[in-house]
Amino acid sequence: MSQQYPLKEVKGDTVCFVPGSPLFSVLMEPASFCYPRLTFLRSPYGQFGASAGSSQDLAPWPQRLVTQRWTGPVDESPPAAMSRNGYFFEESGYLKCDTDDGCEAKEETGGEELFDAVNSSIVSGDSIRFFVNVNLEVPPNAAAESESAGCVLLHTSRKYLKLKNFEEEVRAHRDLDGFLARASIILDETATSLDDVLREMLKHFAEDPENMEPSCNFEKIMSTLFTDSGTPREGNGTHDVSESTGMNIQTCTSHLKFHLLSDTIQGVTATVTGVQYQQSWLCIICTIKSLQRRHVCISRLERPQNWGENSCEVRFVILVLAPPKMKSTKTATEVGRTFATMFSDITFRQKLLETKTEEEFKEALVHQRHLLTVVNQRPSAMSDGHKSHGPKPLKLHEFLNVGKGISDDIARRFPVYALDFTDGVIGNNKAIGKYITTMIFLYFACLLPSIAFGSLNDENTRGAIDVQKTIVGQCIGGLLYALFSGQPLVVLLTTAPLALYINVIRGICDDYNLDFSAFYAWTGLWNSFFLVMYSLFNFSLLMKLFKRSTEEIIALFISITFVLDAFKGIIKVFKKYYYHGRTGDSYLEKARTDAIPSLGINTTFLMNSSVSRSMSLENQTGTHDVHYGRETAVLSLMLMLGTLWLGHTLYQFKKSPYLHARVREILSDCALPISVLTFSAVGSYIFKEIEMSKFNYNPSESLFVLAPVQSLSIGSVMSAMGLGFLLSMLFFIEQNIVASLTNAPENRLVKGTAYHWDLLLVALINTGLSIFGLPWIHAAFPHSPMHVRALAYVEERVENGHIYETIVSVKETRLTSLVANFLVGLSLLLLPFPLQWIPKPVLYGLFLYIALTSIDGNQLFERVALLLKEQTAYPPTHYIRRVPQRKIHYFTGLQVLQLLILCGFGMSPLPYMKMIFPLIMIGMIPIRYNLLPRIIEAKYLDAMDAEH
C-alpha cells in the first residue's frame, strides 16, 4: 500500500521531505542543496547510482530505471544513498568507516578523503542497482518487455589475497624498485569518469619513451580492461551514463548495456554484518598478450569520484598491466598485491594526498615500504614456517638426564596405544578398505626388497645369510616393532647399506680367518650397545641440528642408491647374456662346446650369425628348449622398464578422469603389487622359453642357530667394536631421519613422536637378530613415508595454475604393519615356488619405482628441476616468494655438491670408504651452520629450510 509523506518544501523540480521520512530528497535539477543530517557530494553522473549501504537495507528495493521525472507517491522506503543529476548523498546515520581507517564523515575538501569505507555485504557487483520505487505511468506490456530484453549471464568470482609480506617476500621490494625506476605517476587528474581516467593513464604510457610498447594497441588494452569487449551494441536510443565500479549503462528502448571491469583488487575488512570496503582506492589489473614487460601507473584524482557500489570515494587508481607468460611471482596479480598492500594503510593514503610533486610521491612510497618491512620483522621471526636462524642450544644436562626421553615418549604414546588398533575399524570414520589396500602394498614393499637383498647377502656371504633368513628376520623384527614401537607407521627393512656392511664383514673374516657367524654377532651386539647408550642419554636430541635441506640430501642419496642397484643388476644381465662373446661366460662356452659338435655346424658361422645369440639347448628328453643370449638381456630390460612404467602409471592414475574415484584410489594404492605380478607373469609364463635370471634359494637346515660368540679372541671382539660403532652411526642417522620424515608437519600426524623409545626398541630387536645370524633391520626410506601416504586422505588444491596435493588426515594404525609382516612370514611357505618365478629384472624395476615415487615432494629435486624450466613454469612455493632466484640456485648447487661427496663415499668401490659415509652425513651439520651462512644470508637459508 502506498504511503504518502508530507512535503515540507517544493522548489522547481526538487522535492524534499520532512526529517524522519525514508526518502529525504530527490534532486531533479543540479542545484546546491543542504539538509540537516545529510551530506551532499558532487557526482558527475546523471542517473541514480548504486547504493553504498548494506545489502540488507537494499534488498526490498526493485531495480528500476527512472527515465522520467518523479511525479507520483512513494510506495516503499528507498535506500540510504543515491546520486542524481550531479549529486551524491547519504544519510549520515548509515555511514560506517572500516576499523583500521577510523575515519569520520567530513565534507569534501581538496586535500582530505571524505570517507573511506562504508558497510557493505559481499554482493555480486555485476549490475547497477536503482532502488527507487515510484509510480510511473508505464504500460504493463512495455514494463515486461524491458525486464526480459537484453538478458545476459555474468560470472563473478571473488577470492581473498594475503597482504604481501615486505620482510619475507623479496619480490615486493623488486616490484617497487622497478616502478620507481620508471615511475608513471599522474597527480591531480581532472577526469571524472573511469573510462577517461584509464585513457589518460594509457596515454601517459604511450607518451613515456621509457615505457614504449611498439606493438601495443592501447585501444585494444582499453577494451580488454572491461568485460564487454567485442560485444555488439543494439539500439539507437538516448544515452544516460552512470558509473558503478567502471560501469557504463546504455539506456535504449529495450536494451541495457553493462560495462564492468574484469579484474580488480580492493581492500576489505570482514565484520559481523558483512564486509567493509576501502573505497578511496582501486587497483585494476590486466594481462595483455602484446606487452613485452610489466607496467604500473598510479593516478591521484583531483576530487573524489563516485563510481558506484564499493567505489564511492575513489581518489587513487592503480593500473597494472603485464604479459601472460611471466614467472608466478611476477604476474599482474602479484604486482597488484604489492601496491594494494601499501595502499591498504589509510595513513599512507593521507600522506600521498599531501604530496605536491612526483618526487615527494616516490619518497612516500619508499617510506611506506620501510615501515611495512620493519612492522613485519617481529612477527615473521615467529612464523610457523621458519626455524630460527640458528639451532636452539642444547645444554649438557639434557643429555645427562638418563632415560628422560624414553619415559617422555612412553608417557606421550601409551594413552593412545589402544586407539592404534581401533581407529578406522570401530566408530564412524571407518577405513577398512584403505587398510586392506595398504596391507597389500606394504606386504609387497617388504617382501620383495627382502628377497632382493637376501639374494645379494646369499652371494656375498656364500649362503650364511640367505633369502630364507632375511624373510624370517623381516617377519620377527617387523612384528615386534609394529606391536611395541612409538611410531608404528615407520617400516623396518634390511637395506643396501646394511648389505654392504655384511659384505665387508665377510671380507674381514676371510682375510683374518675368523668365524663369520661369531664376528657378525659381535658387530651386531656392539651396534646394539651403542644404540642403547644413545637412547638412554637422549642423543636423538641432536637430530634437531639436522635441517630439512640436510635430511633431503640424505633421502635423495638413498633414492640414488636404489637406482644404482637397479642399473648394476641390469648391467650384469647384459654382460652375461648380451655381450657373452666378449666376456666368455663359462656356461655359454660349455653350451657351445656341447651343442655345436652334435649339430655338425661351422663354429665360425655360428659366432657371426644371430643363431649364436639365440642358441637352442636341447635337454636330455628333448621336450624343452631354453634360449640363452640377447633375448634374455632385451627381455630383462623390458621387464624392468615395464614394471617401472606400469607401477608409476597406476600410482598416478588417481589423478586421471577415468573410472570411479574409489576405483582410481584402489588402483593407485595397489600399483606396486599389480605391476610386479603382471610382469612376473610376462617373464615366467608368456616368455617361458627364454631363460631369466632368478634369485638363489638354498633351504637352510636350521633358521635359529646361536652364534659361537665365545670362539673369538679379545682382539677380534675389540675389532668388532669399531665396526659396531660405525654401524651404530648409520643406524642412528637412518632411524631418526626416517622417523623425522615420517613425522613431518605436512603429514599431519597427531599422536606424537617417540624417537628415543623407538631407537631403544630397534637396538633390542637387532640384538636378537645378531645372535641368531639373521640380517639387521632399521627404519627404511622411502617405505615409511610411502606407508604414511597410503594411509592418508589427500586433497588437490590449485594455486596460480599449479596443482598441489595436501594431506588432510592420516589413519595412524598398527594393523597394517602387523598384518603385512605376518604375511611376509607366511611367505616362507611360498619358497621356492611361486616366489622364485619373480625374475630379478622385476625386482630391479621395483627399485626404480621406489626411487621415483620417493622423490615426490623432495624440495631438493624440485629445485634441481627448476634449472631446466622456464621462469613462467616456476611454482609459487614459499622459497620462490621469499628468496631471490640466484640465491635459490646457489643453495641448490651447494646441496648437489654435498650430495656428490656423499655419493663418492657411499658408492665407492673401496669397501672401507663406504663404511665411513655415516660420518660424512654428520659432517653436513657444521657445513650447514658454519659454511653456508658465509655464502648465503641466514634468512634465505631459513626460508628454504622452512616447511611452507
pLDDT tens for 777-816 read 999 988 999 999 999 988 877 766 667 788 899 999 999 9
Contact 225, 261 (CB under 8 A): yes
Query: Among candidates 914, 469, 528, which has minimal Cα distance to 709?
Result: 528
Please give the average per-residue pLDDT across 820-834, as a whole number.
Answer: 90
Query: What pLDDT, on a 0 to 100 scale, did the predictor assign at position 34?
Result: 34
Cis peptide before 832 (omega within 30 of 0): yes
Work out the number of other CB atoms within 10 angstroms of the CB of residue 209. 5
Most confident of 294-298, 645-649, 936-940: 645-649
pLDDT above 70 as % of the chain: 72
Query: Among candidates 734, 758, 810, 811, which has minimal Cα distance to 409?
Result: 758
214 band by pLDDT with thresholds 50, 70 and 90? low
Please enumerate in sequence order all residues whose Cβ is within 8 A of that of 268, keeping only pairs 6 or more positions apart, or say none. Answer: 275, 276, 277, 278
**What would the pLDDT profile of 638-650 be if each residue is shown by its tens digit?**
999 999 999 999 9
Please enumerate in sequence order all residues whose Cβ is within 8 A of that of 213, keeping only pairs 6 or more positions apart, or say none. Answer: 205, 290, 291, 292, 295
Most confident of 155-164, 248-257, 841-850: 841-850
| 43 CB-contact burial (10 Å; exposed 0-12 / middle 13-18 / buried 19+) | buried
Q: Which amino acid is at 69?
A: R
Any idea which of 248-262, 562-576, 733-747 has the lowest mean pLDDT? 248-262
Cis peptide before 324 (omega within 30 of 0): no
Query: What pLDDT, on a 0 to 100 scale, did the predictor assign at position 626?
Result: 53
Query: What pLDDT, on a 0 to 100 scale, did the predictor assign at position 584?
Result: 42
Q: Strand 281-287 vs strand 314-322: parallel, antiparallel, or unpaired? A: parallel
Query: What pLDDT, on a 0 to 100 scale, did the predictor assign at position 784?
Result: 93
Most confident of 144-158, 346-360, 385-399: 346-360
